[in-house]
Every structure is written in C-alpha cells, then in structure tokens.
Structure 1
Amino acid sequence: MRANVMLTGDRPTGKLHLGHYVGSIANRVRLQHAYNSFFIIADLHMLTTKNSRADIERSAGNARDMVLDMLAAGIEPESATFYLQSAIPEVGDLNTLFQNLVTVPRLERVPSLKDMARDSGKDEMPYGLLGYPVLQAADILCVKATAVPVGKDNAAHVEVTREIARRFNHLYGDTFPVPELIHADVPTLVGTDGQAKMSKSIGNTILLSDDAAAVRRRVMGMYTDPDRVRADVPGKVEGNPVFIYHDAFNDDKAQVEELKERYRTGRVGDVEVKEKLAAALNRFLDPMRERRAKYAAEPGLVDQLIVEGTERTREVVRQTVFDARKAMGLTSTFQAIRRKAQATTKSR
C-alpha cells in the first residue's frame, strides 16, 4: 500500500455532472496513480438532506451510477477502492470520538451547511447536518488520508478535518496525518440557469452521462447576457455562463478567443456561440461515453467493485479505530476493569 492516501467521493443522490468533474473528478483522475485511492459512496451523508425510505431505496442504483460515472471519467478499476459508507459501522465509532474535539460555534461558521439546508427545503438545520463536517473528518481520517481533492464548497469542511486531526494528535499523540487539500482549477461551475452553482438538487446540470442530444438541448437553453437582445448588440463575456463553459471545456482555445472578440463587438449571435459550445462539450464527453459503454457491458462489474472495495476498506478502518482508541487510553480502561473483575472472581 502506498504511504500517500487519497480520499474523496460523493453522496449517492443522482448522477454526476460537469460541476463534479471540474470540482474534484478531474483531480481524482490525474492523481489516482500517485495515491492509494479511496472513493467513498457517502450514503450516510445523504441522510442529512434526503432520508425518506424512497431516497434510501434509490441509493443503491445511484451508487452504481456514481461508480460508472467515475470509471467513464477515467478512474481505472485496478487503481481504485470504491466503498459504501453505511457498510462500515466503525466509521460511526470514529465520528463519536471526534465529536468532542470541535465546538458548535465552529461548526456553525461552516458556510455551506446553511446553503445545503436551504437547497433541500429545510427551515431548520438537522443535528446531523450541523455535524456533517465531523462525520466527513471520520471518513477522511478513517483511512488516514493525506490528500483530499476538493471543490470550493467542501474546502471549509476539510479545514475542520485538519483541525480535528491536529487536536487529536495534540491530546493523544501522533495518530493521524493532517490531510492536504487539493484545489480544483475551476473552483465552482455555475449552473445552466446562470443563477447558482451547478447542483443536482436545483436541476441546472449537464450530466457526465448525457447523450449528445441532451447536451445540445441543455446548452441551447442556457442563460447568457440578459442585456443582449439582438446579435448586433455588444455582449458581456465576463460572468457569462456560456463563456465560462467555453473556457473550462472547449479544447479549441483559438475559437474561444475569436468568439469572445466577436461577442464583445456584436458580431456573433448567442445561437452560434451555444452551438459551438455544445459541439465542444460533446467532444469532451465522447471518450467518457466510450468508456461508459465498455464498463457497462461487463455484467456485475460495478457491484463487485463496490463489494470488494468496501470489504478492503473495512479492514483498514477497523485498524484505525483500534489505533485511535488505544491512543486515547480507552482500550486500557476496559482492560483494567476486566483484570480487576477477574482477580476478584479468583479470590472468591
């Protein structure tokens, strides 16, 4: 096993999209061979905003889709350990040990938690959502991860992990690495509506699994410059979602610069700009479609990867929990009581 460990993943609430790709998946693909790579299917985190029986029943199918999305994006099965969070109960043990190493006011300062509550339609924040970064710390540290590819929204969560690791080590001895954040080149990708970041809960997404027609349909409906009523009116490129996507995904940089110049001077219409974006996105997604078809054609592959990865990960986590309890002195507490009980029994 490599000394360097990468932990990252997603909640099984639906298929992955371009926002996931730029936020984390691109770095996962780039770094997969440099680390012992763990990819969590975070179904316990899903419960913080989606916890109906129907949500839970859909999670198995969503988990399969997530893994297939990552394989399609370029994660190689032999380089990856995919695992289901809820199938490793020892993560909950570590979460319990960490809960007293962070304060409520500290968690309340994590900016994305209120956004998550609002986006899921909750008037008040559930206890589990407030503790989301603590459970995330357990996820990261249970495999003693040294690196976490992270999008802008999750960076504050991982800072809590770093604080918990340092606090634990200070109190009980050097037990956990303090993981490094690996930031994305594109911090946040605005959604197709131009109003918020790309999000499954809002539905303003372009999925990694979309076919060419779906991509074109979503692109042609994208928000652009609201002040531009005709093609001969000079338009704004900065902050324009269509050009944000061109910069992120169009491999023809000369074409992008030419479109920007024409757009600023009122010499190109939104339709042409969008048509060329759709073509660029489909060039970007075509290799993923080929890999998806390849892996989807192997019966049982995804399920086997999840089962084998979960079993491997559970062994790692059991050892980590033992290390943490030993460092804290919890194992010796019970051993002392048991020795006393045995001595008393023998003296009778």
Structure 2
Amino acid sequence: MPRPPTFTARAPGDNRPRLIAIDWGTTSLRGVLIDAQGHIAQQRALPQGILQVEPGGFAAAFDRHFGDWLALQPDMCLLSGMVGSRQGWQEAAYCPCPAGFGALCNQLLWLEGAHGIPTAIVPGMSVVPQASVDAAHGVPDVMRGEEIQVMGALHLMGQDSGLLVLPGTHSKWVQAQGRSITGFKTFMTGELFAVLAQHSILGKTLDSSAPLDETAFAQGLERARSSDALSHLLFGTRALSLFGALSPAQSASYLSGLLIGQEMATMQPAAGTRVALIGSAALVQRYTLALRHAGCEAVAFGDEATWAGHQAIYQYLTGTSS
C-alpha cells in the first residue's frame, strides 16, 4: 500500500491547480478542480456512479473522466463517498468515532496515483458498540461521504461543534464536539419513502411527483408525535385518502411528514438548537420546516460543504491556508 506522500511548499509563481476533489457515489460522480488560489476553476457531474464501473476499472474510469485535469499536475486528488466501499475502487477502513479531523486525515487510504499524482480515498466513519456487535443489541452504524460534508460545513460556519443533519436516501444526524465527530445515527427515510410510494398499497392513493404541500406535511409531522407504531401511522395515510381527507398530492406530503417526523421524534432536538442542514434544496426545505416545527433554527448548505471538506483536508496535509 502506498505511503502518505510528503508535501513541500510551492515555489513562487507556481500556478498549478491545488486539488482534484471527487465525490463518487453509488449512482453519480461529481468533481471539482481547485486552482492555485483555492477557488473552484471547473466542475463536472456525471451519471457514472460506482455501480457503472466494471470491477478493476476504477483507475481507467477516473482517467477517462478527469484525465485532462490530471494532466495539469495538481498537488493531489482526494476521493470521498462510496468509492471507498467494498464495491468501490478499494475498500477504505472506517475511522471509528469519536474521531477528530486529524484522525480522519491520518487514515486516508493512499492509492497508486494516476499520472504520478498523490491520490487518496477519505475513509468514512463508523460507530461501533464497545461491548460487541450483535443483531440484538450491539448494532453499529456507518457513513461514507457525509463525514467530509460535516467537516466542510463546520469549516464554513467557523465552528467546531454542533448538530448536523444530512437528509437523503439514508439520512444522517451527526453530533460534533471540538472538531470531532462524536457520534451519529442513520435513518432510511428517503429509501423508505420511495419503497412505500412505488411498491406498496400507499402508492395507489398518492402522487409522489407532486410539489410539497406544507399544510399536509405539517399534519404528518404532528401525527408522527403519536406513540403508535410506525406501521399503524403509515396505514393511516391510506385511510385518510379513502375518506377524502387527503388528496393524492397531499398524501405524498403527509407521508413525507410522517417519516421525517419519526426522525425528529427519535432525535428530539431541543427547542432553540441551531442545526446545520446539508443536502439538496428540496430535502433541505422539508427538514427546515420540520426543525422549525420543533422550535429549532436551520442553516442550509449544499455542494459547497463537500468541497470545503476536501479543501480542509488539503490544507491539513500541506500546512497551507485558504
């Protein structure tokens, strides 16, 4: 396995790019080229996730999609996301929580660099029970890609602690303290919504493509506070539609409110808490409404959190500033 490289100070007037930053997920591939001044010079987004790459074909795919950037001889390439999973380029061992920013940087998985450029995969993080891992009690949790977004958001906010939520197919609630990720929980909210809307009886009476109905969404949030089991609450979506209380468009928003409300009921953020949200605009809108419903304040971030996280790692490794 390649050893971590040693980075030397740049000569005056060296205008080569600093960094190629890559977020390589299950279904998509995104990258930015960071110039010598730390600004995004170019960016690309491709529907070429890790599932579209043949086994053993990651180096060739990387060169095919970003070879022109590699030819500019940046200082390094950093890759985050599912590219470090067992189905990715090479499996990067999870960095166990609690872990600080320095620990994450020191556990980068260095690869044979394309075009001779130092290339590393950000390892992801895990929460593992201290006693044992078993199906009844000692259930672990993992994430890949979100850890760099969390570090980037903290950097952008100028904070080292806080609660951060990353909505998505598998939503993450992350607690940071002293620039360390101390723990997190994952909820299959987005995936569960898709399964219910497309492959269950609920899909017969809802329109998942309809725009958000804030009133119906808030009703779902409120209903999620019930002590009843989720399976019972979910069936209520259908019953309400059968009795004409919800239209197909409203049913989709109500269901979304139920599922996101379950996250809120589990995590119970205290009223007045300032929460960083990192994700797509549509999901951030829903979680902002949910947090406000609970009396919390939300501050939103998009892709900039990902690239800020990559830049922070670059600065740590090279001893430079933005």
Instruction: Identify whether the pair has TM-score above 0.5, normalized to the shorter chain.
Output: no
Report 1 or 2 for greater relative contact order, CA contacts < 8 Å, sequence distance ≥ 6. 1
Whose helix fraction is larger, Structure 1's or Structure 2's?
1
Q: Tell which structure's C-alpha radius of gyration is larger.
A: 1
Whose strand fraction is larger, Structure 1's or Structure 2's?
2
TM-score w.r.t. structure 2 length? 0.27
